[in-house]
């Protein structure tokens, strides 16, 4: 299969070729490995490949799922593939093979996907750019001096560069939507509990949501159909039923859309990101929707409470790691600010944590009340276009680290707190050729509405036909 033939199809299209006998899973894996070899030297977005395991899965007979034979990559964080490490770009985990597949990976395999590698992440997902001491920097295929985003940046860049049509990602505060915006691809963060978190449990009070970065809207919807659904061993579950793929292409009706370019907690928003939203408003009104400027007013303590919860979660995670390692962890194991965050987390009293959790509930109430009057909320995905690599110093204090987060991606974490689905849709490119996305969010469990809207926007202003300067076959 030539690069042109491979890139001409999204994942749904490649699966259809296999189904019709016009190509084979081995041919598609050959193409994906060739694409990796062609661009990974320049981009550094695939951290490992395991061709032997992928070939063995093909020889054993792939399940007759909706993506039978389609190559796929896992983000190297939370997604355990038996026999392969889940390194998290952190030294103690780099060579520790997973004992079993996570439930999400089982569902990917049941869908017929051929998983052949892992994508880069920041160390423990705590840099705001996909850069790490373990693996170095991942480069944006649109402009390699700039970030791919955090922390699913390797997956987003792999999709943009044509290695795979879709790749796994997850999102605890923006890490599907941010790299989708930076790399010019589609990124849907599902509702809390929509995809399984088993067996490791519901991280960050269910705020960490699993899904994917995709080249087309229909791939995202069809993949969510294949993986979504309750799991009896987890605390949070979203309702099952219906088909998201069937929603793509359906008319969304006339939507009431709230619009804001005022970043939560006062971070300035770059003029290009504002222009991207204004262009989306013009398009939405041409499509018959009603747009009204409306900001979200949040409790002043909400950002502090979110930070405290993250600190506590990292401290807890490291207590588990110490039991696995059989030794205490210390400053030599981490980038400086990550160690400071862990130390802070260990000082938090249970009563303070409970009060902070109540504060995040107030943030959720403020966000969700917006959907009493509106169907959808539109904002920039990011407060800035993709920043240059090296923009974030990991030797700063935790307070400065979180301030840097808020200045870069202040719009996304609200919908992790509220449990709402939210998506980043490619909107425009700036003068440096870098993509800028816009974020759309809806009430919890309203992915169907967002998929209908995304399909309408994709049809009106197609983005999937344009590849970045660095891509397979360039």
Could you list the active site residues? 75, 151, 175
Q: Are 227 and 195 in contact (CB under 8 A)?
A: yes
- CA dihedral (34, 37, 40, 45) in degrees, to 10, reads 60
CA geometry: angle at 457 spanning 456 and 458, to 5°? 90
Segment holding 226, helix H or strand E: helix 217-227
- CA dihedral (324, 327, 329, 331) in degrees, to 10, reads -150
Rounded Cα–Cα distance for residues 202 and 196 (Å): 9
Three-class SS of residue 188? strand
The H-assigned helical ranges of 111-204 are 153-160, 177-183
Rounded Cα–Cα distance for residues 368 and 317 (Å): 30
Token look-up 């899973």 returns 25
Rounded Cα–Cα distance for residues 176 and 266 (Å): 23
CA nearest neighbour of 429 among 145, 184, 153, 147: 184
Three-class SS of residue 74? strand
Cis peptide before 239 (omega within 30 of 0): no
């Amino acid at each position: 299969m030539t690069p042109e033939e491979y890139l001409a199809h999204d994942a749904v299209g490649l699966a259809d070729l296999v189904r019709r006998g016009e190509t084979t899973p081995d041919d598609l894996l050959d193409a994906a490995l060739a694409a990796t070899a062609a661009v990974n030297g320049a981009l550094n977005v695939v951290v490992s490949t395991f061709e032997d395991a992928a070939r063995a899965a093909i020889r054993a007979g792939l399940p007759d799922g909706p993506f039978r034979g389609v190559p796929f990559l896992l983000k190297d964080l939370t997604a355990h593939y038996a026999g392969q490490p889940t390194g998290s770009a952190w030294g103690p985990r780099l060579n520790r093979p997973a004992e079993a597949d996570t439930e999400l990976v089982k569902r990917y395999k049941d869908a017929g996907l051929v998983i052949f590698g892992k994508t880069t992440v920041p160390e423990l997902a705590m840099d705001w750019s996909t850069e790490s001491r373990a693996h170095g920097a991942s480069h944006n295929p649109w402009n390699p001096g700039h970030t791919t985003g955090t922390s699913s940046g390797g997956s987003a860049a792999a999709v943009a560069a044509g290695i795979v049509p879709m790749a796994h990602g997850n999102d605890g505060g923006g890490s599907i939507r941010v790299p989708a915006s930076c790399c010019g691809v589609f990124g849907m963060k599902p509702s809390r509990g929509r995809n399984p978190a088993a067996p490791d449990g519901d991280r960050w009070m269910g705020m960490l949501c699993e899904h994917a970065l995709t080249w087309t809207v229909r791939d995202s919807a069809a993949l969510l159909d294949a993986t979504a659904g309750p799991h009896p061993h987890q605390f949070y579950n979203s309702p099952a039923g219906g088909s998201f793929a069937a929603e793509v292409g359906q008319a969304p009706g006339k939507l009431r859309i709230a619009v804001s370019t005022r970043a939560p907690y006062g971070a300035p928003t770059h003029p290009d990101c504002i222009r991207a939203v204004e262009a989306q408003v013009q398009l939405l009104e041409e499509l018959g929707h009603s747009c009204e400027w409306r900001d979200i007013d949040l409790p002043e303590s909400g950002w502090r409470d979110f930070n405290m919860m993250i600190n506590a979660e990292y401290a807890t995670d490291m207590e588990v790691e110490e039991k696995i390692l059989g030794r205490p962890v210390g400053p030599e194991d981490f980038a400086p600010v990550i160690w400071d965050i862990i130390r802070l987390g260990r000082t938090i009293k249970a009563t303070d944590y409970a009060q902070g959790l109540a504060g995040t509930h107030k943030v959720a109430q403020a966000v969700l009340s917006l959907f009493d009057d509106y169907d959808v909320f539109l904002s920039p995905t990011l407060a800035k276009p993709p920043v240059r690599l090296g923009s974030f110093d990991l030797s700063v204090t935790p307070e400065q680290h979180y301030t840097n987060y808020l200045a870069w991606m202040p719009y996304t974490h609200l919908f992790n707190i509220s449990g709402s689905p939210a998506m980043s849709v490619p909107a425009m490119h700036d003068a440096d050729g870098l993509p800028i996305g816009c974020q759309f969010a809806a009430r919890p469990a309203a992915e169907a509405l967002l998929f209908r809207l995304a399909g309408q926007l994709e049809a009106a202003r197609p983005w999937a036909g344009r590849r970045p300067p660095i891509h397979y076959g360039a």
